[in-house]
Amino acid sequence: MGLDKDFGIAIGSLKKGKRNLITDVKGVKVGHVTLNDGNIKTGVTAVLPHEGNIFKEKVMASSCVINGFGKSMGILQIEELGTIETPIIMTNTLSVGTAATGLVKYMLEQNEDIGSTTGTVNCVVTECNDGRLNDIRGLHVKEEHVLEAIKNASEDFEEGAVGSGTGMVCYSIKGGIGSSSRIVELDNKEYTLGAIVMSNFGSLKDLIVNGDKTGERIYNNQQQEKDKGSIIMIIATDIPLSERQLKRVSKRAVIGLGRTGSYLGNGSGDICISFTTANILKHYSDTNIVSMKMLDDEAIDKVFRAAAEAVEESIISSMYHAETTVGINGNTRKSLRDLL
């Protein structure tokens, strides 16, 4: 999968993973539930950091709020403790509460100790506003959709107008879910960094595809909108990084975002969450002192480049894979493929 195999577009210079998806990072899985029926254009996408019990084996993490016009939850504790302990859920803005309840129920089912013999849980739910195509006021996302998305999680998953990306609009045309990965060589060993995005931002005239000002060529005959919406960017890697280093990697997502033409408009919530599967923190530790590996900062430029490339390609991939969609009130957003 990916732009190079599907559409002949090669973004960046680094080697790509086998699938060119975030799931090239071993253990990471992604699942969708797509709600696509008439005026209903929405859904849920779940990102699982690993295959085990995430609450009991937390992944080290950090985030970057590039522009804070957003309603995601769970980021506060990520910033304080530097860990993620649940699947990461993506959905629409008005479904954050419902998705959070569904995720809480899943975590309680998996862990009898939560809220009983140990503390509660920090559920991570992210969002974008799909109201331009979806009947967002209908609150069509239900708790069971979260459970189903988690159950559906696998190494292979669809991109485009699927899951939480079903009703998303990017650069005034059809956006959605996109993913990509890069290989980084460190100490003669190959590591993987992958990204997944939910794209819902930008104005068409600003769109740049692999350095080409594509938007300027096609915007005259299309609807031009003010930059608003949001983008959620999730970066996963198996490179040993500290939460400080993951914060630095999260910040580099803005490079990939900017390369597609975004200037981070006032009404756009631009958020990145990064985690590593190489540093696992146990909820119940046998020792007071725990060991952790991290990368020499002098070698981190390779990781920065990989993050920028993977995010850039993920955004463009979300648009290329998305199908032309007719939503609420007859609003139509064409696929980028149909405009070229």
Q: Which of 232, 170, 306, 185 is nearest to 44 (CA)?
A: 232
The values of phi and psi at residue 188, to 5°, are 65, 25
270 is catalytic: yes
Check pLDDT > 90 for residue 177. yes
Q: Which of 180, 179, 161, 163 is nearest to 337 (CA)?
A: 161
Check pLDDT > 80 for residue 171. yes
Q: Averaged over 256-274, what is the pLDDT?
A: 95
Strand, helix or coil for residue 83: strand
pLDDT at 9: 84
Check pLDDT > 80 for residue 320. yes
CA atoms within 13 A of residue 299's CA, in its CB half-sphere: 12
Check pLDDT > 90 for residue 201. yes
In sequence order, what are the residues at sequence separation of 6 or more whose Cβ sits closer than 8 angstroms to the Cβ of residue 311? 180, 195, 197, 233, 235, 252, 253, 255, 256, 257, 272
pLDDT, tens digit (0-9, with 9 covering 90-100), for 34-63: 999 999 999 999 999 999 999 999 999 999
pLDDT, tens digit (0-9, with 9 covering 90-100), for 61-109: 999 999 999 999 999 999 999 999 999 999 999 999 999 999 999 999 9
Strand, helix or coil for residue 325: strand
Check pLDDT > 60 for residue 204. yes
Mark out the alpha helices in 39-158 (DSSP H runs).
Answer: 75-81, 96-110, 143-152
C-alpha–C-alpha distance, residues 306 and 183, integer Å: 8
Strand, helix or coil for residue 194: strand
pLDDT at 1: 58
Q: Averaged over 2-28, what is the pLDDT?
A: 89
Tokens of 195: 């990204």
Q: What is the pTM of this model?
A: 0.97
Tokens of 103: 């995720």
CB atoms under 10 Å from CB of 301, counted, come to 10
Per annotation, catalytic residue among 24, 270, 274, 335: 270
Chain mean pLDDT for the chain: 95
pLDDT at 3: 76
286 is catalytic: no
Check pLDDT > 60 for residue 223. no
C-alpha–C-alpha distance, residues 328 and 295, integer Å: 48
The values of phi and psi at residue 324, to 5°, are -55, 135
Check pLDDT > 80 for residue 175. yes
Domain 3-284+292-324 is classified in which CATH homologous superfamily? L-amino peptidase D-ALA esterase/amidase (3.60.70.12)
Strand, helix or coil for residue 69: coil
C-alpha–C-alpha distance, residues 10 and 59, integer Å: 31
Per annotation, catalytic residue among 164, 172, 180, 268: 268
Q: Which of 325, 140, 312 is nearest to 233 (CA)?
A: 312
pLDDT, tens digit (0-9, with 9 covering 90-100), for 289-312: 999 999 999 999 999 999 999 999
Q: Averaged over 312-329, what is the pLDDT?
A: 97
C-alpha–C-alpha distance, residues 59 and 141, integer Å: 27
pLDDT at 219: 81
pLDDT at 20: 97
Burial label, 101 (beta-carbon count in 10 A; 0-12, 13-18, 19+)? middle
291 is catalytic: no
Burial label, 119 (beta-carbon count in 10 A; 0-12, 13-18, 19+)? exposed
Give the residue extent of every domain in the chain. Answer: 3-284+292-324
CB atoms under 10 Å from CB of 125, counted, come to 27
Per annotation, catalytic residue among 230, 262, 317, 318: 230
Check pLDDT > 90 for residue 226. no
C-alpha 240 chain-centroid distance = 20
